[in-house]
């Protein structure tokens, strides 16, 4: 295409000079900050509906022993534990992500590499906290 | 005759709902209160997981648990209501759909809150 540009060698060298390009979507490497930004919204949305599990547990405790045992059994089943484990991570991740936003609100930590480091720290922190909470949970009940 | 008023004069007193940065601020306020409250809630669940019906009721009916739990619910539900409203405003463009979802968002949040707080009050006072 450039061959067709009128003006000869002069303008051609101008056209081929290194210029910043727009992100090319198929080869675009996602910055971790973008992933964490999306995750913050997704985890927030998940927590929104997660409150139903909290409300259900409280309702069960206030209703009857039979109903409480049913909900306890459900939450304690392998599937229930899986959901609660995911819930824990989502909660911790959103909390640390929120903390990151509060830091940013002060104007600190916005430099590109700092922001990326904090983003990775959010992920590492949320996984670590989740594992620690579940270890503490199992320790509190004396095993599995 | 052409309208002689300036563009600023035309929009004065019409535009904003006079809340301005209200949502921004409340989102941050509840974000801050959520941190200790959610940590309390998680700590409570860690401590009483596996507890039977009687133990759970005894724990939840204590004012030292019930009162912070009510604060957890108020703070978290307020925070999530604003958050979901932002999501709705970002992705739903039809004016009617947007309005309907924003109304539903508030109804949902209030319903969850009322039911959960009532359960805690029943545990504390209902015997």
Kindly report, residue by residue over A7-50, the tens digit of the pLDDT: 444 555 556 677 777 767 777 778 899 999 999 999 999 999 99
Nearest to A47 among B53, B60, B80 (CB): B80
Select from B49, B67, B48, B70 the least CA-distant residue to B117: B70
Dihedral sign computed on CA atoms, order B5, B9, B13, B14: positive
Per-residue pLDDT at A8: 47
Residues of A in contact with B66 (CB under 8 A): none
pLDDT in tens, B25-72: 999 999 999 999 999 999 999 999 989 999 999 999 999 999 999 999
Q: Which residues contact A92 (CB under 8 A, 6 or more apart)?
A: A125, A126, A129, A130, A133
Residues of B in contact with A58 (CB under 8 A): 60, 115-116, 119-120, 123
Residue A132 at interface with chain B, using a CB cutoff of 8 Å = no
Instruction: State both tokens at A92.
Output: 């911790």
- Contact between chains at A45 and B84 (C-beta distance less than 8 A): yes
- Contact between chains at B120 and A58 (C-beta distance less than 8 A): yes
Chain B: closest CA distance from residue A28 (Å): 24
- Contact between chains at A61 and B31 (C-beta distance less than 8 A): no
Chain A: closest CA distance from residue B95 (Å): 21
Q: How far apart are CA A117 and CA A33, in angstroms?
A: 9
pLDDT in tens, A94-103: 999 999 999 9
Residue A136 at interface with chain B, using a CB cutoff of 8 Å = yes
- Contact between chains at A62 and B122 (C-beta distance less than 8 A): yes
Are B65 and B45 in contact by the 8 Å Cβ rule? The answer is no
Are A119 and B27 in contact by the 8 Å Cβ rule? The answer is no
Per-residue pLDDT at B11: 74
Select from A100, A88, A98, A81 the least CA-distant residue to A46: A88
Specify the residue for token string 């210029």.
Answer: A19
Average pLDDT over residues A65-81: 96
Q: What backbone torsions phi and psi does residue B88 show, to the nearest 5 degrees?
A: -60, -45
């Amino acid at each position: 295409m450039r061959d067709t540009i009128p003006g000869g060698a002069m303008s051609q060298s101008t056209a081929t000079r290194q210029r910043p390009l727009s992100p090319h979507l198929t080869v675009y490497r996602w910055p971790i900050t973008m992933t964490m930004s999306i995750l913050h919204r997704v985890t927030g949305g998940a927590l929104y509906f997660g409150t139903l599990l909290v409300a259900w547990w409280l309702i069960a405790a206030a209703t009857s022993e039979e109903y409480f045992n049913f909900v306890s059994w459900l939450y304690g089943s392998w599937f229930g534990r899986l959901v609660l484990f995911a819930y824990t991570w989502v909660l911790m991740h959103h909390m640390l992500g929120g903390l990151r936003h509060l830091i940013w609100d002060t104007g600190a930590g916005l430099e590109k590499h700092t922001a990326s480091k904090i983003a990775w720290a959010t992920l590492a922190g949320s996984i670590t906290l989740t594992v620690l909470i579940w270890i503490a949970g199992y320790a509190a009940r004396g095993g599995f | 005759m052409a309208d002689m008023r300036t563009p600023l004069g035309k929009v004065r007193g019409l535009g904003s709902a006079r809340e301005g940065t209200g949502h921004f601020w409340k989102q941050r306020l509840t974000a801050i209160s959520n941190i200790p409250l959610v940590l309390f809630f998680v700590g409570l669940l860690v401590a009483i997981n596996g507890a039977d019906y009687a133990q759970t009721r005894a724990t939840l009916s204590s004012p030292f648990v019930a009162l912070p739990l009510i604060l957890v619910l108020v703070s978290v539900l307020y925070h999530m209501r604003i958050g979901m409203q932002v999501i709705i405003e970002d992705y739903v463009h039809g004016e009617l759909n947007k309005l309907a979802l924003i109304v539903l968002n508030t109804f949902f949040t209030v319903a969850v809150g009322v039911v959960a707080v009532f359960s805690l009050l029943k545990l504390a006072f209902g015997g």
